[in-house]
Amino acid sequence: VLFITEVSDPQDFPNFRFIELYSPNKPNYKIVEGFTLKFMFGNVISLSINLNGYETDSNGFIVIPVDNPGTEVVNLMKLNAVIDSYGKQGTIDWNFVDGRANRIDYGPSSFGVNEWTIDTNVDLSSSDPGCWNGIGDCTNPLPAPPSPPNPAPAPSKGGKGGKGKTKTNRRMRKSKRV
């Protein structure tokens, strides 16, 4: 089980916008089941995040930094089927800027505005990434960066001597000499 628990767009720190997901039965779990977050603006997918490779923390949470989450429908998909959502196409009673939406009870479910507490004019101190209704680490005030699905490759030493000179770089420098 994986569902959306918080959507945050703090007015004082717009760079800390995030979506929080929660899995009550899978702490420290690496996602491999084909989950995707799709953000809809009107009928257009504005952003799609493949969650394969992301990991829940020791309490079952994933905090994903995003841009402008309070004004777009957020669909949590599993193999192209919507399993949870925040927001509903054609309605605006869920839409907010500079605020926060916190799910009241366990999900997943089809979206109903009465299943969420939606506040506007909210600062980052009112958001609680990695904590939902008393579950999780409720002392961490900032969202953690997402777990990268694939670790970045180790930086190359660039050939002999570790000076960053590769054959390609040397060829490029030589070709610029005319």
Per-residue pLDDT at 19: 93
CA angle 83, 141, 47 (to 5 degrees): 35
pLDDT band at 68 (very low <50, low <70, confident <90, very high): low
Tokens read off for 79 = 């193999």
- 158 φ/ψ angles, rounded to the nearest 5 degrees: 80, 30
Residues 76, 35: Cα–Cα separation, whole Å: 7
Per-residue pLDDT at 91: 83
- Residues of the chain with pLDDT > 90, as a percent, come to 40
Give 175: exposed, middle or buried? Use CB within 10 Å, 0-12, 13-18, 19+. exposed
The neighbouring-strand residues paired with 77 are: 36, 82
Evaluate if pTM is beyond 0.85: no
Residues 120, 112: Cα–Cα separation, whole Å: 18
Each residue's pLDDT tens digit, 107-128: 888 888 999 999 999 888 888 8
Residues 3, 75: Cα–Cα separation, whole Å: 10
Which of 149, 131, 133 is closest to 61 using CA atoms? 131
Q: How many CB atoms neighbour CB 22 within 10 A?
A: 25
pLDDT band at 133 (very low <50, low <70, confident <90, very high): confident
